Amino acid sequence: MSKPVILVTRKLPSAVEARLSADYEALLNPQDALYERDELLKRAEGADAIMPCHTEHFDADIFERLPKSVKIIANFSVGYDHVDTDAAKKAGVVITNTPDVLSDATAEIVMLLIIGAARRAGEGEHLVRTATWKDWSPAFMVGTQVTEKTLGIVGLGRVGKVVAERARGFGMKILYHDAFRQEEEEKKGAVYFETMEDMLPHCQFLSLNAPNLPSTVGMLNAARISLLPEGAIVVNAARGTLVDDEALIAGLKAGKPAAAGLDVYNNEPGIDPRYKELPNTFLLPHIGSATAETRDAMGFRALDNLDAFFSGKEPGDRVA
């Protein structure tokens, strides 16, 4: 019996590709090329499954044109907002994701963003790299101390809970806004706010950890930024869509928020160039899950879903 054919849209970790090639007929992408729509559909001819990343977008048009042989899309990602799940259901295509495996790695990046933005790490590195660091003085590169400050978290889900735990290591007080109360977190001292508007005036630091939903697009807007206290710092390692760029850039120029640490953006990698011109931004290139351990775990989780599907079982991480 022939092995199922799996189209892989990006270069994956070696261990993941080795397991994939052992169990399936794998159509790999060793050059890590970003397939355009027509190229993706062409390569999907004869495939039984596709293993994409968030860089490929599966909208209604794609599902209408997708070869009928494709029965499952096993995402190499936790987020699946790049997939029109309603169109997938209509086309009879199963969709899975890879939850639970990247919380630690992403939380580390959140803490890096918090510390990097607060301690002006981007500015400091630029001084060293350009040999423009001249001397030391008591007024030189003075930033904001993180220890024992108040952190507001929007979205206390898998990543948000790990962020809270890491932040407690710095003695930070945790506030949170979420669609659901988190009693276990409240037992650890987290304070719940029913609305962002109620929470924001108390946030010396604000971490966005919400998913990309119609209700969260542009959630950090001018009105909400105005509610932050003076000196507040904002970080986002969730989805760029959570931020109204015009509002945040205007706020940063005016000094409120005092700084921002960003790992995700609207229209990435073609981000708004004004962010790069601002001295009070600490910018990373969407590397929240970029550890060897996490990327392997993501791939193995996606393969577990494929294994279940092709053995006639329900994939454990089915989202559509």
C-alpha–C-alpha distance, residues 16 and 34, integer Å: 19
Structure tokens belonging to residue 278:
């601002």
Q: What Å distances lie between residue 133 and 125, 130, 139, 141, 283, CA to CA? A: 9, 8, 14, 10, 20
The active-site residue out of 54, 119, 286, 301 is: 286
118, 146 contact by CB (below 8 A): yes
The active-site residue out of 268, 295, 301, 318 is: 268
C-alpha–C-alpha distance, residues 96 and 300, integer Å: 13
The active-site residue out of 239, 246, 277, 293 is: 239
C-alpha–C-alpha distance, residues 173 and 175, integer Å: 7
Backbone angles phi, psi at 258, to 5 degrees: -70, -30
90, 58 contact by CB (below 8 A): no
268 catalytic? Reply is yes
301 catalytic? Reply is no
4, 48 contact by CB (below 8 A): yes
148 catalytic? Reply is no
What is the set of active-site residues?
239, 268, 286
